Every structure is written in structure tokens, then in C-alpha cells.
Structure 1
Amino acid sequence: MYKLSSLQAARGLAALMVVAFHSLFINAKYVESKNLLPKIFFFGQTGVDLFFVISGFVMIIAFREKFGKKGEIFNFLKGRFFRIYPTYWVYFLAVFLVFQIKPEIMNGSQGGNVDLTASLLLLPASSLPLLMVAWSLIHEVWFYLVFAAILLLPSKWVPGAFFFWLVTIICASLFAATPDNPYLRVMTHAFSLEFIFGALAGIAYLKLSKKPKPSPYSAVSTALTGLGAIAYALSGGVVNGSDVIQSISLERAFAVGGGYTLLLLACALQESNNRLKAVSFLKLTGDMSYSLYLSHVLTLSVCGRVWLSAGYTGSGAWGAIVFWAASYSAVILVAYLSYRLIEKPLLTLTTFYKKLNLVKHPSAAKGDI
């Protein structure tokens, strides 16, 4: 019931959306011809919103039986650490080496102003991380810390804890200015609402999926409401060019985050009742979505520099078609190789470490994840 391929497919879709969004900047920088990329690619930035919703949903599903149990905080944080940091550090190291050799090509928009310690540890800082896309991982780390605290609570108190967190973020957004302190900015950022929405949807899913014969119309109406919210965000200018790293509006959090939450819940319910099958390509993309997210801007930038050095920038519409066909193929290939050769072996290694640790400490087996 709880191994939902629709969640993995949603991860793949979210990653592809972010790739589409960043393509617009690569096109403007390296392809001196008519922009062939559709304007809707700008909405691809909300792939990050979808990632946050998925994260909250998955945390509830994966740790549904761990609330209120002794020792779970350590097991949870250890698992999250091994899932996020080892693969990230491989990319951080690669970018760091380039930064040492040619600092002018890294973080050029910030004039090379980078907090390397904060970048390494995924801590909030006044500047972007060295690997720029890692700014969203800083929010993920914060989500995990709060979730770890919620794990202390009995199951019956968990929904109340999330509602309390939700009200706190809404009040901070309504009545306080965006903090200058980067730690406070992350802690009060409305992106937290999307993680909370996902978690509450996960709680709802656990209850609704147990019903003997749920009506398909409830899932359909949920999906239509979610699509309506996304359509409103598309047409109403909710997603604009503002700096989302500093803050997002409550309107965006509710329209985009809420819309994705309802769509995700509807898909999960339909799948649990064997009424939905995820697209295989999106499932595969979801498997390698972390590698895709970490690598895609680097891959696109390399493709752009090669294109620029080859002198093809003014080659017209056909040239642009060739560039994007080659670049998108490279993005998928690099992400797949990264997943197979870096991410998956590191996950296997950390899994082996955890099993070895259980052999040394058998009493920990009951609480391990």
C-alpha cells in the first residue's frame, strides 16, 4: 500500500521542471538565436515547490510507525544525513576544485562571494551555496530537523504539531518582515508550508487509503481542485521573477504548494486502489532525480561553453534545436551515470555500514530504518 510509484514519478516530474526552468537562463547566455523554449518553462521553477510537498508526504509514509518511539531521532537523522550529504559532497568537491582554479566562472553573479563552510555543511548563509542549486537542500535540512523533533511525539499529537507549525509560519509571513539573519529566514520561510502540506496529505492518505471501497470521485474532485489552484497560479502571476530564496508569498505557497499537494494526494489514492499506473520514464527519472537535480546546471553550462567555443551561437533556429537536443540528452545521460556510479554505490555503502552497525549493536535493530 505504501510503496507508491506515483511519488517517485512526481519526483521525476519535479526534477524535469527545474531543468526546464534553468534552460531559459542557459539559452539566454549561450544560444544567440530565437528562443525556441516555451514560456511555460518559467513555471518550471515550481518543481522545487513540488519537491518540498513530496518530501513532507514521504516523511509521513516512511516513518508512520516511528512516532513516539525511543531512539528514533538518531536513526532518522543518521538516515537523512547519509541520503543527502555523501552524494552532495561529491558535487561540492568537483565545483570547489573548479572554484580554486578559475573562481571567475563560479558564482559569477555574486562576484565570487561564497561561504565555503556553509556550502559544505548546507547551512544558511547570506550568499548562495557554491553549488547554487543546493539552496533548496538547506531548507530540506531544516525540515528534517523539525520533523525529528516531531518524531518525539505520540502519533495522535502529530497532526496538531504540524498545524501549530503551519500557523506559526503563516503568522511570521503576515506580521514580520523577511529577516536579515539567514537562519531566521530559513526557519520562517513560507516554503515550510509546502512541506507541512505534504505531511498533512500523507496523514490524510494513511486514513483514506484504509477505507474498504473509496469512491473514485473523491480522488477526481481532489485532483480537479488541485489543477484549479495550479491554473490560478499560472494565470494570476503568482509565480513571478521575485527572489524565492529570500521569501515567497503566502499566495504562492497555498496556490502552488496546495495545488501540488492535492494532485499528489489524488494520485496516491488512485494508485492505492489500482486505478493509476505511473509512467515508466518518470519513475526512472524519479529514481535518479537527486543526481539530476545536482548535476543538471553543471551539465547545461558545460554544453553551453562547448557550443560557444565551437562558434555555433549564431546558427539560427536549427542550431538551437540541435543544441537543446544534445544538451537535454547530455543532462539525462550524466544524471543516469551519476545515479549508477556515484549516488547508488554511496547509498549501498551506507546501507552496508548500517547493517554492520546492527550486527555490533543488535538492540538497535528494532528502531532502525
Structure 2
Amino acid sequence: MRWLREQFELSRGGSDHNVRPMEGLRGFAVFLVFLVHYVTLIEPWLPEQASIRAFAGSLHAIGNTGVDLFFVLSGYLIYGSLITRNQQFGRFIHRRIQRIYPAFIVVFVIYVLLSFAFPSESKIPSDATEGFVYLAQNFLLLPGILPIEPLITVAWSLSYELFYYLVIPLVIAVFRLRDRSAAWRVSFFMIVASLLAAYCFAYGGHVRLIMFIAGILLYEVMESSWFLSPPSLLGFGAFCVGILGTLVPVSGTMGAVLKTLILFVAFFFLCLTCFRNHLIWLSRVFSWAPLRWLGNMSYSYYLIHGLALKAGFLVLPKVLPDAGFDSWLFWALLPPMFVLTLVPASALFLLVERPLSIFPEKRRDPNVPAAVRNFY
């Protein structure tokens, strides 16, 4: 236990009470993402029984909200880091690249090697020129914002992150947001969110980008004294409404915008509840040490857990050759498959992400809060 604390506790010196529940929320978010890929891979093993398949589909939809929660937390942390002090754009982007790329490069190389080892599973075009362009596009994190199939399935969200990193410093500088009042900034970002939602409703588009704005508004409210601390029941209720809102039977652009707006409000109140008062039970739940440890290595886990799950399900027929297609299998396999994903994620975190991205020798900026350094 002491070794785990030493390796996976990253903010021991942090003084902000919201650091611990924030770490736990990251851990919960990445577990939701795990559920998405678990449901996808176990689906062929499920019986044709309508009830279990309907439940699995609902769990898949709920699990997708994990990425939206990551966007809220990223919006909160990065905006908070930038709005409080002027930073050189190049230095800021360099730190973000240093945070993202070491672990990403390792997983990227693994995917490329496996693509050549298993051509039937490869997404790389067979033509050499097209293949090179495709790999370059993926290395530059273009899939997601651009309509390109990602080599690493989950890497689409990194293009959203990188887009936010590039745009938000420019927005702060162009509109001189550091010189504006908090009320002015809140009004500004509410208008931006409304315009983006309206555009996506009419024409489609990247509506999930507004989740970053939920994080921005969260930071502004956290810094104010006029907003009361919500009780745990409100935060938990908002969370329940948010994830259940994903099951609303409305499709198309209208459904996407509606569900995202529900999550926008729900995750705002969930995070606000946890961050404003670290003594309430909801904040304590997300401050549970194992959940925080998972949150601290969430980037490594996010990148590699899908590959570990894929390997696990490829080996499964050899381990359970006579397993019946029954609903019990869904629940029986969930814990061991989750534990399986922790092994390569921990290795990637301890061998690559932690030494090269979080603690790169002694080059950490002491003015950057621990929560920002630890976040992907």
C-alpha cells in the first residue's frame, strides 16, 4: 500500500481541497470509458435476449459521457491556469505537448507494429503514400476535429484537447479577458456556448466542444463568493439526470445537442458540488484513494486500455472454450477484464508518463498547480 501511495499519489503537496475529488472524478471518467469498450467487445458473447442487449446498449451510451467529464475538467484546469497569469504561448504549448506526447508515442508505435503484425486488423492504407499520410495525420492528432478514422480509437478526443489548447490562449488574449470582470467573462462564454449549440443544432458539428466551456464557467463560479455551495444531493441528482439524459430516445443533431446540453449542466453541478466543499459525502466519495490513483494515471489508462481489452477477448475463447452465451458472463467478466487493463496502463504510467510528462527531471514550473501538471 505504501508503494502504491508513493507511485500513484501525485498531489501530496497540493493545498487545494478540490484536487482530491478532481483526481477521483478523472478516475470515474476513465472507468466510464472502459465500460464503452467492454460493452463493445463482449457484445458477440451476449445472448440474443433483448433485455441484456438493451442494458448493454444503455451502459455503452452512459459510458460515453466519461469523455465529456474529461473535457469539463480540462476546461476548468487549463482556463484557470491561463486566466490567472500571462503566459508565453509557445511555452504553454510546449508544456502541453510534453504532457501528451511521450505516452502517446509509445502507444502509437505499438499500434503501428501490431498493424503490420496483424494486417487483417490494420487501419493503415496499403498504398505507401496514403499510409504515410494517414500515420502523419494520426501522429499530429488530427482525427476527431477532422473526419479521419483514428488509428488509436480513443485518440479522437485528443484532437479536441489540442484544439482547446490552441484556441483558448488566443481567445483570452484577443478579448483581453484578464482585464474583464468575472460577470463579463461568464456572459461572454455563455454566449459562445449558445452560439455553438445553435450552430450544431442547425448544421451539425463538434457540439461536445461546449463541455470545455462548462469547465471554464466552473472555474469562474469557483472563484466567486456569490454562488452558494450545493449540497451533495444536488450534485448527485445532477449527475443522475446527466447520465440518464443520454438515454433520451432523440437522435440526429437535435438529440446530440440536447444530450450534450443536459451533460453541460449536470457535470457543472457535479464538479461544483465536489470542489466547493471537500467535507460533504459526495466529495469524500470521489476522494477515495484507489479512485484517485486511477485518476492520476487516467491518461495512460485511456490510451492503452482498449488494446488490453482487445487482447483479453482474443484470448478468452481459449480460456473459456465452452462458455455459454448467457447474461451471467457480462457480469462475471467485467472485474477481471478491468483488472487486466490496469496492468499495461500502470506500466505505461510508471515507465513513461510519470517520468517523462509529469516529473520530467527538474523542469517543472513551480507556479503551475499540481492538478494542472497531472492532467492530460
Report the TM-score when normalising by structure 2.
Answer: 0.76
Residue of structure 1 equivalent to 2:16: 2
Out of 79, 82, 85, the position equivalent to 1:60 is 79
1:1-369 pair list within 5 angstroms: 1-2=15-16, 4-30=19-45, 39=56, 41-42=59-60, 43-66=62-85, 69=86, 71-107=87-123, 115-123=134-142, 124-152=145-173, 153-157=176-180, 160=184, 163-175=187-199, 177-178=202-203, 185=205, 189-208=206-225, 218-220=229-231, 224-236=233-245, 249-271=256-278, 276-277=283-284, 278-310=287-319, 312=321, 314-317=323-326, 322-347=332-357, 350-352=360-362, 354=363
For the residues of structure 1 that align with 2:38 and 2:305, how far apart are their CA atoms? 9
SS at match of 1:263: helix
Tell me the amino acid that sits aligned with residue 270 of structure 1.
Answer: N
User: Contact 1:307–1:323 at 8 Å: present in 2 too?
Assistant: no
Report if aligned partners of 2:81, 2:368 keep a CA contact under 8 Å in 1.
no
Inter-partner Cα distance in structure 1 for 2:347 and 2:159: 25
- Listed as ranges, the gaps of 5+ residues in structure 1 are 180-184, 359-364
After TM superposition, the structure 1 stretch with the greater mean CA deviation from structure 2, 17-26 or 165-174, is 165-174
Cα offset, 1:172, TM superposition = 4.2
Compared with structure 1, are the counterparts of its residues 248 and 147 closer, same or farther at alpha carbon in structure 2 (3 Å cutoff)?
farther
Bigger shift: residues 317-326 or 279-288: 317-326
Distance in 2 of aligned mates of 1:170 and 1:242: 20
Q: Distance in 2 between matches of 1:274 and 1:25?
A: 33
**Aligned residues between the structures:** 336
Flag the 1:151–1:196 CA change in 2: closer, same or farther, 3 A.
same
Distance 2:45 2:309 in 1: 10
- What's the CA shift for 1:253? 2.2
AA at the equivalent of 1:56: G
Partner of 2:5: none
Whether contact under 8 Å (1:233, 1:256) holds in the other structure is yes
In 2, Cα distance between the equivalents of 1:103 and 1:90? 20
How many Å separate the matches in 1 of 2:181 and 2:151? Answer: 36
Shift of 1:198: 0.8
Q: SS of the residue aligned with 2:180? A: helix
Q: Report the secondary structure of 1:271's partner residue.
A: coil
Counterpart CA distance in 1 for 2:77 and 2:94 is 17
